[in-house]
Amino acid sequence: MMNNEYHIPVLLKETLEGLAIKPDGIYVDLTFGGGGHSAAILKFLGDNGKLVVFDTDNDAFVNLPNDKRIVPIKANFRYFINFLRYEGLLPVDGILADLGVSSYQFDQADKGFTYREDAPLDMRMNKEADFSAYDVINGYSLDELKAVLNRYGEIYRPAYVISAAIVEYRKRKPVKTTGELVEIVNKAVSGRATPGFLSQLFQAIRIEVNDEMEALKEMLSKTPFALKKGGRLAVIAYHSLEDKIVKYFMKYGTFDKPEYGNTTKSDFFRLVNKKVIKASKEEVEKNRRSRSAKLRIAERI
């Protein structure tokens, strides 16, 4: 039974419209999470439709509905095309990726995704992975820590003092919990670590732990070879770096902004929404997670 109590799917109406779901089509939810988007997609599918759902977190599949049309796969979405090929489900009619961490994952204190709970430094999407936030915080050099905060948290001026404070602290003992990390950061910036700032910092560490940017690029690069002609790709991003990667890939077929004067368009996609889709004021009021969400949709040509 799918439980949506803890997960309100972001930009649901806009995503469903963008996917243009066919009743007998094959669709892929690369980020099953709380299952909200998947539950809605299933309502549009007929008896012959298929929905393949991916997640690396075993806990996510607690929400899996008892439905013969759904195919669950526990794997990182960077490898999705290999599994679709193995299942004999290529090509597909639509692919969805919601790149945010689900409310359920944030609510599980032992996962260490949030600064609001004191928990072990973990942040692994896949509990079977060997590398965790503990390894980043206790193993990276000052320069490496600073680079992570710069690159993925867009934290610049305080990055050096925070990284130096972490390195100094661990000379005495390892940093083991999120609470310890917050305390170190607060002292380093003289108590000026706002909730927004801490969210950026934790986000940066989470992205590094799960290699999220490289996984995103690898996943996107395979979507043209998984989609039918006319098939749709819908991606919801919450971080400016992720959104830029998605934007440039859909528009130009590259992961970086083309050089000035180069207007070459993607060989694989046409943009369905030329302007990014954001949550309405009403949605943001009901679901704060949607405030930074950006939806882009492209069609396979």
CATH of the domain at 179: 1.10.150.170
Q: Which of 194, 210, 226 is the last residue of a domain?
A: 210
pLDDT band per the 50, 70, 90 thresholds, residue 3: very low
Is the pLDDT at 106 greater than 80? The verdict is no
Higher-confidence residue: 3 or 109?
109
Q: Which of 210, 235, 269 is the last residue of a domain?
A: 210
Q: 236: closest CA among 274, 292, 275? A: 292
Rounded Cα–Cα distance for residues 49 and 44 (Å)? 9
Domain span at residue 233?
12-104+212-300
pLDDT band per the 50, 70, 90 thresholds, residue 261: low
Tokens of 93: 């009619």
| Residue 246 in domain | yes
Q: Measured at the alpha carbon of residue 255, what is the angle toward residues 254 and 260, in degrees to the nearest 5?
A: 70
Phi, psi of 50 (to 5 degrees): -135, 145
229-253 residue pLDDT tens: 999 999 999 999 999 999 999 999 9
Examine the domain organization and report whether 283 and 137 are in the same domain. no
pLDDT band per the 50, 70, 90 thresholds, residue 170: very high
Examine the domain organization and report whether 259 and 284 are in the same domain. yes
| Residue 248 in domain | yes
Examine the domain organization and report whether 177 and 221 are in the same domain. no
Mean pLDDT calculated for residue range 55-73? 88
Tokens of 97: 């990726």
